[in-house]
Amino acid sequence: MSEHKELKLEEIRKEAEERHCPVQSALYYLEKFLSDPMCGKCFPCSFGTYEMRIRLQDIVSGKGTEDGIPVLRRISNAIIESSRCKKGKDTAKFILQWIGTDGFMEHIEGRCPDKECLAYIEYRIAPDKCTMCGECKVVCKDNAIIGEKKKPYLSGYLPFEIRQKRCTKCGECVKVCPTNAIEILDIKAAIKV
Ligand code: SF4
Ligand code: SF4
Ligand code: SF4
pLDDT, tens only, 46-91: 999 999 999 999 999 999 999 999 999 999 999 999 999 999 999 9
The model's pLDDT over 91-129, given as tens digits with 9 standing for 90+, comes to: 999 999 999 899 999 999 999 999 999 999 999 999 999
Q: Measure Cα distances from 191 to 122, 124, 187 in Å.
A: 10, 11, 6
CA–CA separation, 27 and 73 (whole Å): 14
The model's pLDDT over 16-53, given as tens digits with 9 standing for 90+, comes to: 999 999 999 999 999 999 998 888 899 999 999 999 99
CA–CA separation, 98 and 63 (whole Å): 18
Q: Whose CA is nearest to atom 6 of ligand 2?
A: 136
Whether 123 is in the pocket of ligand 3, judged by its Cβ within 6 Å, is yes
Q: Measure Cα distances from 86 to 1, 79, 187 in Å.
A: 8, 10, 40
Concatenating the DSSP letter of every residue in 126-174 gives -TTT-----HHHHH-TT--EE--PPPTT-------EE-TTT-----HHH
CA of 81 to the centre of ligand 2 (A): 54
User: What is the pLDDT, as a whole number, of residue 150?
Assistant: 85
Count CA within 13 A, CB hemisphere, residue 8.
12
User: What is the pLDDT, as a whole number, of residue 158?
Assistant: 87
Whether 146 is in the pocket of ligand 2, judged by its Cβ within 6 Å, is no
Residue 136's identity, in one-letter code, is C
pLDDT band at 5 (very low <50, low <70, confident <90, very high): low
Tell which atom from ligand 2 comes closest to the C-alpha of 135: 1
CA–CA separation, 111 and 122 (whole Å): 11
Indicate if the pLDDT at residue 1 is higher than 60: no
* 39 three-state secondary structure: coil
Q: Dihedral through CA 115, CA 97, CA 67, CA 46, nearest 10? A: 110
CA–CA separation, 102 and 52 (whole Å): 19
Substitution candidate for ligand 3 out of 123, 161, 180 with most atoms within 8 A of CB:
123
pLDDT band at 7 (very low <50, low <70, confident <90, very high): low
The continuous run of DSSP H or E covering 77 comes out as: helix 68-82
CA–CA separation, 35 and 8 (whole Å): 13
User: What is the pLDDT, as a whole number, of residue 42?
Assistant: 93
Q: Whose CA is nearest to atom 4 of ligand 3?
A: 167
Q: Whose CA is nearest to atom 3 of ligand 3?
A: 167
Question: What's the whole-model pTM score?
Answer: 0.85
The model's pLDDT over 136-172, given as tens digits with 9 standing for 90+, comes to: 999 999 999 999 998 777 777 889 999 999 999 999 9
